[in-house]
Amino acid sequence: MTVMKALLRFPGERKIMLADCPIPSLKPHSVLVRTSATVISPGTEFNQVQQTTASLIQKAWQRPDLVALTLKSLRSDGARQTFDRVQNRLGRPLPMGYCGAGVVHAVADGVTDLAGGQRVAIGGMDYANHAEWNVVPKNFACPIPDEVSDQKAAFTTLYAIALHALRQGGTGIGNQIAVLGAGLIGQLVAQTALAAGARTSVIEPNLIRRKTAKTIGATVTYHAAQDAPGDQFDTVYICAPAQGTHTLIDDAARLCRDRGTIVCVGDVAPHGTRDILYRKEIDLRQVRSYGPGRYDPAYEEAGQDYPEGHVRWTVNRYMKAALDLMADGRLDPLPLITREITFDAIAAHFTPGANPDDLATVVHFAHSEIAQGDENDFRLTPPSVSLPSNEPARDRSVTLGLIGTGNYLGGSLLPLLRKHTRIDVLACASQSGLSALAAARKFRAAKACSDVTDILDNFEINSVIIATRHDSHATLADAALTADKHVWLEKPIAITHDDLERLRPHATNQKSVFMIGHNRRYAAMSQKLRKLLPPDAKQFHYRVRFKPLSTDHWLNRPDQGGRTIGEISHFIDLMTYLSRAKISDIACDWRDRKRGDSIWRVLFSDGSVGEVSYLHTTRNEPKETLEIAAPDFGATLHDWRRLQVNGKVVMRNWRARDKGQKDAIEAFVAAIEKGVPGPDTPSLNDEINLMERILNAANT
């Protein structure tokens, strides 16, 4: 049981379809749920479909920020690399859906409040998908009371949005509120406001939706905002899209009483005419999804909750409140259901122009019975990947499994692997299985999976490339070496001393080829520079400038070691290669440890001295500049574009920066074929010692 059906968007192919994909692997602080029902939220999901099926020009118009990034990549990396990266992103399937219900099948270690066999409501974009199986963070899963059916419970996340909106608007007993837009979210806001004791007016041009709003408790309905009386509402909730226009904000401001509140729910651009907002001193608020905790990696991925005394309402508490209100009958989504379909009909439901007036569509999942004896086994143990019996014999020296098929591997290494004549990629693994599916589709007979044991237990695979998040590097490399695989491990080799100790036994009896992805030492400019360097002691000044990451980027998480620890070995390794000497000491001067700003000083056994200034920049300047000085010698490597020695340009990359990935892969393949690493490839013991010095310096 390794494959499931899921509704996926394929932006590169401009289509959506019900596709086979791997069942996602269980993550820490999460549960694996067998889906029984989901709800299609028409506003959000039909907009996603429209974006997916749009032409490239339309996509560019919709996302000018991505166009700007693409143009920047063209200038810095050239057309070929930019094209590969764009194709990688467009080729990755995207899931649809964000609210549903099902039965817990497996729980991660440390999850104590949920158990196998328990019915749960699930939520979250990228978590509660229209898929037969979903892995959901524990804070996005909530037990369903016996009185609530799966069909009703599937609305829980949508009700959480409505409850959070009411909290933002301060709505309670006796308040006069108006709801602009009676789509599904607008209807839920109106119904939830009734349960809170408010008197609700609904403004909606669609007659059928106005009638529905009346049935769920709207006091009065209007065709347009101009028909409703002004200056009397405590809060106006905008539940209709307002992009590039002041109309809805201005309408809402007219409806508000003095010092009233406007709450933007969903895709609303908060732009309005200043005069009316100023005169009434309107409070303009935004609803961020399902409540506090959403978009916080500590809450979502690490399973940390907020203290109730400090954050009374979180995503999970809103979900529980919604289920309790459904259990006692004060909330009832059934009048809002306009269509019910089976899961196998879901792709057809999104045909352009179909079902324009639908509010809520409930999707029902029909599952075959779990095999006898499996009902008490709440762990998925998929069989290993194997080749079909009719597959021709392999004649390539490297049969490869890819573990971690994210942006770097997909955009930088995958195009090189596809062209290599002595590499055969047989399997691709990622936690969700979706990026693995995109990668596997690029090779003749590769399989996609979500469990790395599918690769490590496969005797047909003799080598792996590991490009996962940094905290898993040492664990996966240990497992791969134990399985007698040749290992290419993206830097860093480890982020803690305990991780290094996990790998040290392999260094004393290294049987397999092991390489860290320190590709810069293999670049043509590095090779040229090394030949021209004088034999005496040298001074290296490596200037690295990097742009800030978003605050929620995974590299900023404490458990990932930080961006600096993840990347600094690249630059120290290159200086070590060029010096031809061993490192005698490394020191780190943190300028801002939280940001990663630091200056590293490296002493070599031949008297050479290296310095890496690793600092943030917001200016448009080169990321890497390496200057080398010695008596009667000077060289500068300008961001892998130009190599200058003693005032003369001796090498230039006209089309794109070549940082050596292609030559590094060739060195890996050659080492596997010969059974020993090349003379310029550091041993596992060398890599462990380098990282140990880096960690010691970072913590001094």
Condensed to tens digits (0 to 9), the pLDDT of residues 243-284 reads 555 588 999 999 999 999 999 997 787 788 888 899 999 999
Cross-sheet strand order for the sheet of 539-546: 583-592, 597-604, 609-616, 539-546, 624-630, 633-638, 642-645, 648-652
| SS3 labels along 308-345 | CCCCCCCHHHHHHHHHHHHHCCCCCCHHHEEEEEEHHH
pLDDT of 390: 37
Residue 217 Cα to chain centre, angstroms: 40
The mean per-residue pLDDT over the stretch 109-125 comes to: 94
pLDDT of 363: 97
pLDDT of 393: 39
pLDDT of 478: 97
Higher pLDDT, 85 or 583: 583
pLDDT of 374: 41
Q: Which of 57-66, 452-461, 607-616 has the lowest mean pLDDT?
A: 57-66
Confidence check: pLDDT of 604 > 60: yes
Q: Which of 58-67, 491-500, 679-688 has the lowest mean pLDDT?
A: 58-67
Diameter of the chain by CA atoms? 88
- 3-class DSSP state of 603: strand
Q: Mean pLDDT of all residues in the chain?
A: 89
Confidence check: pLDDT of 500 > 90: yes
CA distances from 566 to 282, 430, 473, 595, 691 (A): 47, 20, 11, 13, 10
Contact 93, 10 (CB under 8 A): yes
Taking alpha carbons only, the member of 3, 13, 1 closest to residue 448 is 3
The mean per-residue pLDDT over the stretch 448-469 comes to: 96
The CA angle 72-84-440, to the nearest 5 degrees, is 145
Question: What is the band of 112 on the pLDDT scale with cuts at 50, 70, 90?
Answer: very high
The CA angle 6-10-15, to the nearest 5 degrees, is 95
Give DSSP secondary structure letters for 226-243: GGSPSS-EEEEEE-S-B-
Instruction: Express each pLDDT in 360-408 by its tens digit.
Output: 999 999 864 333 334 333 333 333 333 333 344 356 789 999 999 998 9
Higher pLDDT, 240 or 424: 424
The mean per-residue pLDDT over the stretch 575-596 comes to: 96
Contact 260, 233 (CB under 8 A): yes
Tell me the one-letter amino acid at 464: V
Pairing outcome for strands 609-616 and 133-137? unpaired
Structure tokens at 276: 């009316």
Structure tokens at 223: 């065709």
pLDDT of 113: 92
pLDDT of 610: 98
Percent of the chain predicted with pLDDT > 70: 89
Residue 620: exposure state from Cβ atoms within 10 A (0-12, 13-18, ≥19) = exposed
- 3-class DSSP state of 79: helix
pLDDT of 397: 87
pLDDT of 680: 87
Instruction: Express each pLDDT in 54-108 by its tens digit.
Output: 666 555 555 565 565 566 665 566 666 666 666 666 778 899 999 999 999 999 9
CA distances from 300 to 114, 141, 520 (A): 16, 11, 36
Residue 469 Cα to chain centre, angstroms: 11
pLDDT of 243: 55
Residue 632: CB atoms within 10 Å: 7
pLDDT of 1: 44
For the chain, how many residues are written?
A: 700
Percent of the chain predicted with pLDDT > 90: 74
Write 502-510 long-range contacts (CB < 8 A, 24+): 502/474, 502/475, 502/478, 503/474, 503/477, 503/478, 503/684, 503/688, 504/688, 506/478, 506/481, 506/482, 506/684, 507/683, 507/684, 507/685, 507/688, 508/685, 510/683, 510/684, 510/685
Question: In which element (H, E) is residue 42 found?
Answer: helix 42-53
Burial 429-441 (b: 16+ CB within 10 A, else e): bbbbbbbbbbbbe
Taking alpha carbons only, the member of 119, 139, 30, 47 closest to residue 432 is 30
Question: What is the band of 189 on the pLDDT scale with cuts at 50, 70, 90?
Answer: very high
pLDDT of 656: 77
Helices (H), 420-461: 434-440, 453-456
Structure tokens at 448: 């996609």
Higher pLDDT, 334 or 657: 334
Cross-sheet strand order for the sheet of 514-516: 447-449, 423-429, 398-403, 463-466, 486-489, 514-516
How far apart CA 645 and CA 643 sit, in angstroms, is 7
Confidence check: pLDDT of 34 > 90: yes
How far apart CA 162 and CA 291 sit, in angstroms, is 10
Contact 198, 190 (CB under 8 A): no
pLDDT of 581: 96
Structure tokens at 486: 């040749």
How far apart CA 613 and CA 521 sit, in angstroms, is 19
The CA angle 451-452-453, to the nearest 5 degrees, is 90
